[in-house]
Amino acid sequence: MNCVAMNSPTFSPSFPGDETSSNSLGFSEYTYEKNLPADKDKLKDEGDGATYSVVGETRRSWEQRPWEVKNTVPSFIHAKVSFFALDSKNDRALWIPIPTNFHDLVQILKDHSVMPRFYKIPHVMGFPEFAGYPWMHRGPEHVDAESFRRSMWEDQRMFHRIVFASYRTGRAPLCAPDYFYLSSEGRKMELCHLFRARHQIVDIEWESMIETKKPGDHVDWTPFCADIRSHLPMAEFLFEPPEVWGKSWFARTVTETAEAILVRAEVVDIVKAAGYEITAKKGWFGKQSWSLADGEVIRRVAFAHWIEWRERSERDLERLGSQLVEY
């Protein structure tokens, strides 16, 4: 943006007492004086009603008087310019160093068991580890306060899940179009966004002139879903979890999230296929939980599958990287 210098009166810093005292900006903390115009610049009247010509402008005499600028910022604030207030679980703010990289965010989670609000330290969204994710606050303009509030809440949830997953796995994020961390509402919105951009998929002839109230009712919906499932990395996580978990959903849910391990029949099957035995449960969808020993076995098997999934995903991204289209 081009900046134009405006004509303005000259400022002369006044230093009462200690002539060398100044704040961090190099100015006095007390009084600033404008250079008063000469008598030849006086236009009319006397006292407060007198007017002067200053750089082509007419100003009253009271506008030329010195004014005081007080230091209203507590000294401890100046000492914490490289810190920010982290809202802790007991509703008390903790002053901690501002994160300078993704590792610092993981360390904050480890040390304080709470994540900062990303909009309080917005520079962190420029970290390369957060590239490739469908952040709602970067989308189209929000038409009302409620939609803006919802987008910020959704993004904070995804921000937390990304950092938590790295804390649990010891690995940096994939930095890819990874939809695993989206909520159900977020998945629906992202699917609709991609569907509106389907014309960028050039191998299919789309019926763009047809309009429907819901994307799922459109004639293009079925071929669109089939195409992104086949070609878009992480597309399986763009849809709701299947009724029966596959190994990828099992591995990522158990390894990357803080959710309790659901008591599901397929969990027993996957663990048994890996050569382990866990206690079978009756009434799979009741309010039961795994024993500590079974939970440890499940997590061990899930992490082994997670390693396989991660290596496979990295290879796929490396192979398809040049072909990916940013919608």
DSSP-derived secondary structure for 163-213: HHHHHHHS-----S---TT--HHHHHHHHHHHHHTGGG-TTS---TT---S
Specify the higher pLDDT residue, 323 or 239: 239
Considering the chain, what percentage of its residues have pLDDT values greater than 90? 31
DSSP-derived secondary structure for 221-256: HHHHHHHHHHHSTTGGGGSPPPSS--HHHHHHHHHH
pLDDT score at 197: 87
pLDDT score at 57: 66
Domain ranges (residues) in the chain = 11-68, 243-327
Report how far residue 217's alpha carbon sits from residue 201's, in angstroms, rounded to the nearest whole number.
20
**27-37 as b/e: b if 16+ CB within 10 A:** ebbbeebbeeb
pLDDT score at 254: 94
Per-residue pLDDT tens over the stretch 286-313: 557 888 899 999 999 999 999 999 999 9
Q: Average pLDDT of 207-213? A: 83
* CA 165 to the chain's CA centroid: 15
Specify the higher pLDDT residue, 211 or 223: 223
Sheet order of strands, 57-60 included: 42-44, 51-54, 57-60
pLDDT score at 17: 43
Specify the higher pLDDT residue, 159 or 139: 159
Inform me whether the pLDDT recorded for 6 exceeds 50: no
Q: Average pLDDT of 107-133? A: 91
pTM of the model: 0.69
